[in-house]
Amino acid sequence: MERLNYFEPYKSKGAHEEDQLTRAFFVLLKYSLATNYLFYDLIISRLKNAQIDQDIPVFSSLDFSTISLRTQSKGISEAMVGNKLVSVLITNEDVELNTEIKRVDREAVYDGVISLGTDLTVLVENKLETKGVRAKQLCPGAEDVPEEVEIIQWPVVIKWSQIIKSLHSLLEVENLNGPEKLLIEDFLNFVDDHFIYLNPYDKFHYCKGNFRLLNRRIKNILSLIAKDEQNVDYHRNWKAFFIRTSLKPLKMIGLRLNFSEEGWRSLNLSCHFGDTLGQAKAFYKQAKDFAVVEKLKNKGWMYKPNFHIGHIQSNIVWLKTPEGNEQKYFEYWKESLDKLRIYHQAELMELLDQLEGEGVIFIDDKGRQDIQKEIIEPNRNIFSLRPGFSLIYKFSPDEATELDRKNLMEKEIIEKISEALGLIGETPHFLESEQTMDMVED
């Protein structure tokens, strides 16, 4: 079986096994020339730093048609043995190895073998933790390497964090082709999903204000606090990651990076209650008095009405509420549950006039244009009211960075979500407990 065919994974092993990480990285090496270059450059750099000069060929001089790769290789085929051999350990941290690389008597199964034709053979040993490294594993089997092959005496140690940082740098290259970029992104997502502890960008202050890296950290935070990681997803309209809930008044909780040309402006935790007709019915039935909203405001939450009209499964028109009438809006819908239903066009237009007259909504020029375009001109006749109500908590970049530096970001998000759900008398049973997060951090 060809282990580097993308469609032939190690089905007998879990995704968190280190062999799966080796295979994933070798798949990337197989299909991404840029990744080959950066990995080879890391090897050469480490050799130079160790002042080991054994005339290793430069990457541009290699014959790419002769490059081949194998993982979980029992022995080394004669065709993969070059004139020189270097042993590379990939692991989680720097480690000084006083291990001389030499032929040893063993029936070796190598994590990975890279053949650069007649120029060089690279043996790769992957260890997720340095404490699992055994010197003998870095040495080739005596029967695998002929005597005439020159073995570089000392191993090269490369941290996974170095590889991941280099891959992120590659993604910033404008002329990197689309398929190659997708492969790199897939690999980095794989690391995030199954080997998050290897990710060097696991705190906001390591992300250096980079939009893509900040978003990866946001996704990781939500994945850590969700009881089921499958409930974490990306909302293309919101342009934000979110957690699905099983609550009737609120199906998604978003954590959005507010980013502009000037950089990172805020991190917005958002709860959009009543976003559909069914959710609105559940929300205003469960919602506590407006005094609870005011208490949330005192804790730093912002609130605002989110009135919109839906047609089938789409939201088609949004209308505003007069400033200062937020409480009137909230209490109107709590007392008017019978108005939360399906409407035909004529009765909808009558209701909108009534709502505007009572100060629950107001219809500005844009609102009138949208009503004309989305309701009247298409002659649609079935509509649902969706009088949503949003709570938003904004973390400043400094606040979020400091919380994350102190390992408090996940707990703070859980606490804030718990505060918001107090409005409907619910608890975040779909999240890990703060006590569980304490154990994770320890």
For residue 6, the model assigns a pLDDT of 56
At residue 1, the pLDDT reads 41
CB atoms within 10 A of CB 323: 8
Domain boundaries, the chain: 18-163, 204-441
Contact (CB, 8 A) for 376 and 418: no
Residue 53 is predicted with a pLDDT of 60
CA-closest candidate to residue 341, choices 378, 313, 310, 368: 310
Mean pLDDT for each 10-residue chunk of the chain (442 residues)?
A: 52 74 93 92 85 70 78 85 91 85 91 88 92 86 92 92 91 88 90 84 88 92 93 93 97 97 96 97 98 98 98 95 98 98 97 97 97 95 96 98 96 97 97 66 50
pTM above threshold 0.75:
no
pLDDT at 46: 87
List the structure tokens of 82. Answer: 């070059």
- Can you give the pLDDT at residue 93? 87
Closest CA to 111 of 99, 123, 121: 123
pLDDT of res. 7: 41
> Are the beta carbons of 267 and 258 closer than 8 angstroms?
yes
**Any long-range contacts for 215-219 (C-beta under 8 Å, 24+ apart)?**
215/241, 215/257, 216/188, 216/192, 217/404, 218/255, 218/257, 218/267, 219/192
Q: What is the pLDDT of residue 118?
A: 83
**Angstrom distance (rounded) from CA 354 to CA 413:** 40
Which pLDDT does position 14 carry in this prediction?
Answer: 67
Q: Which two tokens stand for residue 241?
A: 């990651």
